[in-house]
Every structure is written in C-alpha cells, then in structure tokens.
C-alpha cells in the first residue's frame, strides 16, 4: 500500500502534535512536515510535494483559504483537507471554492478525518456531517456568491488586508511580505477603494464578515 505523505499546518502546536500522533499510529500515513500559517503552508507544499495538506482555516499572516488559492495558482496538485473549529457554512463553501477537497470540524471524531483524507486522495469532496446540512440549506436558499467581494482584490491585496485587519502596522506588513512601506500603503489604498471602505474599523468588520480573520 502506498504511503500517504501529509503536511500539517495549524497555528496551535498541540493540535499539530496530537494530529501527527494519531495519523502516524495508522498504517500508511507519514507526516512529512509541519507549518503554523498559510505562508509556511505554501512554501512547504512546494518544497515537500505532499499527497495531502491538512490545514486550519483561520491562521495568522495568511489564512488557509488564501493559502489554498495560492497553491492552486502555482499549480500544486496536492489534496487539501481543511480542519476548522468554525461550524460556519460560509467558511466551508469558501474553503471548497478555494481548491480544497474536504472541510472537517475539529470537534469531529478522528474517523471522520480518515474519511476526509481518503476522499481527498481520490479527488472527491467531503463535508463534515456536523455542518453538511447547514451548507446544503445555504446553497438551496441561493445566497449571493460568497466570493464576489473578495475576488475584486488581488492576492497581494488580500494578504495586506489580513495583516492590517490583524492589527499590524504598515511597517510590520512590509517586513512580513518583504515589500516596501510605500508599496503597502499603495495596496492598502487600492483595496479600501475597491471595497468602498474608508476606516480601519470597517476594514476589520469586512475581514471578519468574509472569514479573513476570526471575530
């Protein structure tokens, strides 16, 4: 049986350690790397080429959804399983739209993680049973496209949006993204103009509403 090589990405060390212990106790699984935010997820996925990335949704610097989009833009074929504490249909739909195969809640049993990995490796979708009904209800009610507001932003603008909403100064954002402060200021102005936002408070509200950061 082929060993499934897994990359774990979560900003909580205990979650990663616990998941690693559970997975490696099963035959056929190998954890080949660990990361703590979306930027590390992309870099490690490119370097390690794992079969599956198990990744949290809400993480600092770059969240899991944006990391998944970036992986797909760079042509990475690794399967993505989102593991989240948020039983929120909006997050689940956005996660799957970003290129993920599965969305599992952290409160689910380990057996469900195994089912999600199996589905993802076969390029099938998997939704945690704890949230499946809510997602179906949302889709049946034909709520507006969840991606529209964010799709007007470039990937870099979404990265700047998350970091600013997390409370980082322009200088800190520039350092994290390896760009100049003037470039950060330009991205900030562009994204606020595109979103018709005029204040920091409204920017934070927007980021929370669209699942860029947790409330």
| Structure tokens, 208 | 């929370």
pLDDT at position 146 is 46
Q: Over 90: is that where the pLDDT of 212 sits? A: no
Distances (CA, A) of 58 to 55, 70, 184, 196, 201: 9, 16, 22, 25, 20
Nearest one of 31, 28, 25 to 7, comparing CA atoms: 31
Tell whether 115 and 160 lie within a shared domain: no
Q: Could you tell me if 57 and 63 are in contact, meaning their C-beta atoms sit under 8 angstroms apart?
A: yes
Which DSSP string do the residues of 90-102 spell out, in sequence order?
Answer: HHHHHHHHTT-SE
pLDDT at position 20 is 96
Q: Could you tell me if 47 and 73 are in contact, meaning their C-beta atoms sit under 8 angstroms apart?
A: no
Going by pLDDT thresholds of 50, 70 and 90, the confidence category of residue 148 is low
Distances (CA, A) of 176 to 17, 90, 172, 190, 211: 26, 28, 6, 19, 21
Tell whether 135 and 152 lie within a shared domain: no
Rounded to an integer, what distance in angstroms lies between the CA atom of residue 182 and that of residue 171? 9
Domain that holds residue 186: 148-209
Which DSSP string do the residues of 128-175 spell out, in sequence order?
Answer: -HHHHHHHHHHHHTTPPPTTHHHHTS-HHHHHHHHHHHTT--HHHHHH
Q: Over 80: is that where the pLDDT of 74 sits? A: yes
Tell whether 132 and 158 lie within a shared domain: no
Q: What is the pTM of this model?
A: 0.76
Tell whether 82 and 131 lie within a shared domain: yes
What is the number of H-type helices and E-type strands within the chain?
A: 11, 6
Tell whether 22 and 125 lie within a shared domain: yes
- Whether 215 is in a domain gets the answer no
Tell whether 33 and 128 lie within a shared domain: yes
pLDDT at position 86 is 84
pLDDT digits (tens, 9 = 90+) for 12-68: 999 999 999 999 999 999 999 999 999 999 999 999 999 999 999 999 889 999 999
How many domains does the chain contain in total? 2
Find residue 26's DSSP bridge partners: none
pLDDT digits (tens, 9 = 90+) for 92-144: 888 888 999 999 999 988 999 999 999 999 999 999 888 888 887 776 775 45
């Amino acid at each position: 049986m082929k060993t499934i090589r897994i990359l774990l990405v979560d900003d909580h060390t205990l979650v990663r350690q616990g998941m690693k212990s559970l997975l490696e106790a099963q035959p056929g699984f190998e954890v080949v790397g660990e990361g703590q935010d979306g930027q590390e997820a992309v870099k490690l996925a490119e370097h390690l080429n794992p079969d599956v990335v198990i990744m949290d949704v809400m993480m600092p610097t770059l969240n899991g959804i944006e990391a998944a989009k970036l992986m797909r833009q760079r042509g990475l074929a690794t399967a993505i399983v989102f593991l989240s504490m948020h039983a929120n249909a909006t997050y689940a739909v956005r996660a799957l739209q970003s290129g993920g195969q599965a969305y599992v809640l952290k409160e689910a049993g380990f057996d469900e993680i195994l089912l999600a990995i199996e589905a993802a490796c076969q390029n099938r979708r998997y939704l945690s049973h704890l949230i499946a009904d809510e997602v179906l209800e949302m889709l049946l009610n034909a709520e507006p496209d969840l991606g529209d507001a964010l799709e007007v932003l470039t990937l870099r603008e979404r990265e700047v949006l998350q970091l600013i909403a997390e409370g980082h100064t322009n200088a800190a954002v520039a350092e994290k993204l390896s760009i100049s402060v003037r470039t950060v200021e330009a991205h900030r102005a562009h994204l606020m103009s595109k979103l018709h936002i005029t204040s920091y408070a409204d920017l934070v509200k927007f980021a929370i509403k669209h699942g860029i950061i947790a409330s």
